[in-house]
Amino acid sequence: MKRWYWFTQFIVGALLATACLPQGVRIPQSPLLRVLERKVGLIAYVGTDGNIYTVDQAGNKQTPLTADAATSETSQLRYGFPTWSRDGKRLAFVGYNQSEEGTQATLYTADRDGENQVEAFQSDSAAPFYLYWSPDSQSVTFLSTTPGGDSLKLDMVPAEGGEVKTLDAGQPYYWSWAPDSKSMLVHVNGASNLDPSARLAMLRVEETVTEQGMGFRPALFQAPEISPNGEQMLFAAEDEDGTPSLMLADRSGSGERVLTTFEGTVAFALSPDGDRLAYIRTEQPRLGALGNMTIVDLSGKGEPIEIEEEPVLAFFWAPDGEQIAYFVPSIIRPTPNPDAPSASGGEEDIQVVLNLFVANANSGQTRPVAGFRPTDEFLNILPYFDQYHRSATIWSPDSNNLVLSAYAGDGTPGVWVSPSDGNLEPRFLIEGLLGFWSWK
């Protein structure tokens, strides 16, 4: 069963006792912004027809990168996982061709205008489902299932096609590229108290792949991170007393500094300049993080900022490092139908609503931006937002807008643009399932 289904059930269960939003939550339009605002970057999205497109923030200049998605009684071709290169010039995405003979998966790269499309990887047995470009935009690393499904495989392929190199394997598997594009920090096989094979290591990915263990016992967390300057690494591990701790250390694994301790699990991300850290702690080691969010200045200036709205489900730093967008989930209950009480009002009809806020990272002041019902595809990434934070963004390059993937009031899934200041209403761009903004 799809992971998003289980995550939806978790959120519903956690929030059933909380206050519910009114009926009819929807994202209205703000048509004036289409004309007046400066256009920056492009949005890549999965269309409702299963193809990949790019579009600007006004909903103009729509460019199809694929056009052959189709479904018949015996086959289905669809595309997903659009992921921007760091230089904003290329996209990677995956095509899945399902037929009676099985499923063939192909990883493509293409220029942002759809030109120079390359079949970088193809397999009848491995299905890529998470893509992450190297910082120099020359290679794509990706996770795929292995035959038997008992492990995940980390591969790397040049953006222009060529030799596919297997780097490592394990499950679960998370990693963070170093800015030199030659090494990465990996977290494999979960927490040490649950799996003795759990490990934190630095991989060098040059002509040969070499691994340097970090000597820590991983705690319960997902994605590690290397600082933007490449000099430090952030991870969760047991301290000398065996207490799960969020730690900052240098690249060699020495000079570790405990930033906070926690019970349960923690998810975190550094600001783009590496000066600040945000993290969510939760006492319940379930899928994803759902708890209090804290913002810390790593220079030691000021006290940690606790965000009052809770529980926070996921967050994304703005490119300017001064703002952080975060999501607080709520639920809406269907209005009982007095003429057919058994046909409505059940728990299966309850829907998750995301309330989007933006916090000032200096003052901690927050502002509401939007409330919306997310598409399944967007909801699906939120349990893994810390890993997606490393490889994708919902922020515009100028930190003025966010791209949202949400249902309209009539149930139409669409891609929306929401001004981050919260002063203007979000607007519908185009029908779609999941969108990400280019880094540049």
Q: What is the 3-state secondary structure (H, E, C) of 276-325?
A: EEEEEEECCCCCCCCEEEEEEECCCCCCCEECCCCCECEEEECCCCCEEE
Percentage of the residues of the chain whose pLDDT score is greater than 70: 87
Mean pLDDT to the nearest integer, 321-325: 97
Q: How confident is the model at residue 2 (pLDDT cuts 50, 70, 90)?
A: very low
What's residue 36's pLDDT?
72
Backbone angles phi, psi at 124, to 5 degrees: -95, -5
Mean pLDDT to the nearest integer, 135-143: 98
Instruction: Report how many helices (DSSP H) and strands (DSSP E) the chain contains, helices first.
Output: 4, 32
DSSP H or E run through 379: helix 376-381
Give the strand order in the sheet containing 257-261.
Answer: 225-226, 232-238, 244-250, 257-261
What's residue 308's pLDDT?
78
Instruction: In whole angstroms, give the CA distance from residue 78 to residue 387.
Output: 24
* Gyration radius (Cα) of the chain, Å: 21
Is the pLDDT at 148 greater than 80, yes or no?
A: no
Mean pLDDT to the nearest integer, 163-177: 96
Q: How confident is the model at residue 62 (pLDDT cuts 50, 70, 90)?
A: very high
Return the DSSP state at 207: S
Residue pair 314/340 in contact (Cβ under 8 Å)? The answer is no
Instruction: In whole angstroms, give the CA distance from residue 381 to residue 264.
Output: 20
What's residue 248's pLDDT?
96
Is the pLDDT at 367 greater than 50, yes or no?
A: yes
Of 115-129, 201-215, 287-301, where does mean pLDDT reach its minimum? 287-301
Mean pLDDT to the nearest integer, 338-361: 73
Q: How confident is the model at residue 422 (pLDDT cuts 50, 70, 90)?
A: confident
Is the pLDDT at 207 greater than 90, yes or no?
A: no
Of 95-109, 151-165, 329-343, 381-395, where does mean pLDDT reach its minimum? 329-343
Asked if omega into 179 is within 30° of 0 (cis), the reply is no
Asked if omega into 311 is within 30° of 0 (cis), the reply is yes
What's residue 334's pLDDT?
63
Nearest to 69, CA basis, from 81, 51, 56, 87: 51
What's residue 21's pLDDT?
39
Give the strand order in the sheet containing 434-437.
Answer: 63-64, 52-55, 43-46, 434-437
Mean pLDDT to the nearest integer, 110-124: 95
Q: For the chain, give the mean pLDDT.
A: 89
Query: Which residue has 């929306």 as its token pair?
Result: 416
Is the pLDDT at 431 greater than 50, yes or no?
A: yes
Instruction: In whole angstroms, give the CA distance from residue 414 to residue 375.
Output: 8
Q: How confident is the model at residue 350 (pLDDT cuts 50, 70, 90)?
A: confident
Instruction: In whole angstroms, give the CA distance from residue 371 to residue 27.
Output: 7
DSSP H or E run through 377: helix 376-381
Q: Which residue has the higher pLDDT, 149 or 314?
A: 314
Nearest to 78, CA basis, from 52, 115, 53, 108: 52
Mean pLDDT to the nearest integer, 319-343: 78
Is the pLDDT at 378 greater than 80, yes or no?
A: yes
Q: Which residue has the higher pLDDT, 317 or 288?
A: 317
What's residue 261's pLDDT?
95
32 burial class (0-12, 13-18, 19+ CB within 10 angstroms)? exposed
Q: Give the global pTM.
A: 0.90
What's residue 254's pLDDT?
86
Largest CA distance in the chain: 70
